[in-house]
Amino acid sequence: MTPPEAMQMEIEIRALDHVTVVAIQGNVDSLTADRLADAFSTQLNQDRVRLVADLSRVPYTSSAGLRTLLSTMKDARRRGGDFRLASVQPPVLRVLELSGFTAILNLFPDVDAAVASFPAGGA
């Protein structure tokens, strides 16, 4: 049986000066992807358009998760910001590669590097 925690996902949002870091814990799949998309949308609607997703504690994503990543990235860029990924774990990286997402999303080894990649100032 799948343990109950496998169905859950924790989202933690940390607003820095010019970047918002969204730390995710758990699987991003059909059960959880919509909630994650809502969390990103909420930030974008508050003009927090420079987003970093900390994926260090995400062991698994399905195409539902890819849909969320793609729509968030498009939305952020259209608003003049960007959506960047930090600490992508090997199983998730494999899915990003199989889907051709590594060519269009900006990936960084850790949160600090992703945050530093945004120039200071702005939202």
Partner 1 sequence: MDEPPTVFAIERPALRASLPVLLALVDEASAHAGLAPDAAADLRLAVEEVCANVVEHGYPAGAPGPIAISIGVHVDRIEIVIADRAPTFDPSGAPIPDLTADWPQRSIGGLGWHLVRRLVDSVSHASPPEGGNRVTLTRRRQ
* Interface contacts to partner 1, rule CB under 8 A: 1-2, 6-7, 29-31, 60, 62-64, 66-67, 70-71, 73-74, 77, 91, 95, 98-100, 103-104
* β-strands 20-26, 50-57 pairing: parallel
Q: Report in angstroms how near the CB of residue 104 gets to partner 1 at its nearest.
A: 4
Of 13 and 108, nearer to partner 1 (C-beta) is: 108
Reference 118, options 100, 104, 106, 103; nearest CA is: 106
Of 100 and 119, nearer to partner 1 (C-beta) is: 100
Q: Report in angstroms how near the CB of residue 14 gets to partner 1 at its nearest.
A: 26
Q: Report in angstroms how near the CB of residue 102 gets to partner 1 at its nearest.
A: 10
CB 25 within 8 A of CB 10: yes
Residue 97 CB neighbours (<10 A):
11
Q: Report in angstroms how near the CB of residue 7 gets to partner 1 at its nearest.
A: 5
Of 80 and 91, nearer to partner 1 (C-beta) is: 91
Spatial neighbors of 13 by CB under 8 A, at least 6 apart, are 20, 21, 22, 23, 39, 43
